[in-house]
Amino acid sequence: EAGVAQSPRYKIIEKRQSVAFWCNPISGHATLYWYQQILGQGPKLLIQFQNNGVVDDSQLPKDRFSAERLKGVDSTLKIQPAKLEDSAVYLCASSKWQRDLPTEAFFGQGTRLTVV
């Protein structure tokens, strides 16, 4: 079974530029998450999709961050414009959806973003 695929692995941009990350979840996984992991911290949820609908985006800085999941499969996360504090690893994860049952999430390798 193929895992969660993310690209690019690394990205360096200047502040105020824009950047986009791509994620392809495990086949058949209805739930997709984007997490931000700042150095020395645990992953923090930015947005959660159930198929192509948003379940929770309460921690997404909507003035600069946006995400979409077209057709309930692949997803993109965009930052425009980037700030220095956006430097982090952006992790995509997916999980099966079983109603009223928690299941473990499977993570991709992440995209390390450096804003200079």
Partner 1 sequence: DQQVKQNSPSLSVQEGRISILNCDYTNSMFDYFLWYKKYPAEGPTFLISISSIKDKNEDGRFTVFLNKSAKHLSLHIVPSQPGDSAVYFCAASADSGAGSYQLTFGKGTKLSVIP
Of residues 72 and 81, the one with the C-beta less far from partner 1: 72
Smallest separation, CB 5 to partner 1 (Å): 11
Among 1, 27, 28, 41, binds partner 1 (CB under 8 A): 41
The residues pairing with 87 across neighbouring beta strands, listed in sequence order, are none
The answer to the question of residue 25 lying near partner 1 (CB under 8 A) is: no
Residue 103 lies near partner 1 (rule: CB under 8 A): yes
CA distances from 78 to 75, 83, 100 (A): 10, 13, 31
The three-class DSSP label of residue 20 is strand
57, 70 contact by CB (below 8 A) = no
Tokens of 5: 């695929």
**Residues within the interface to partner 1 (CB under 8 A):** 4, 31, 33, 35, 40-45, 48, 50, 55-56, 91, 93, 95, 97, 99-100, 102-110
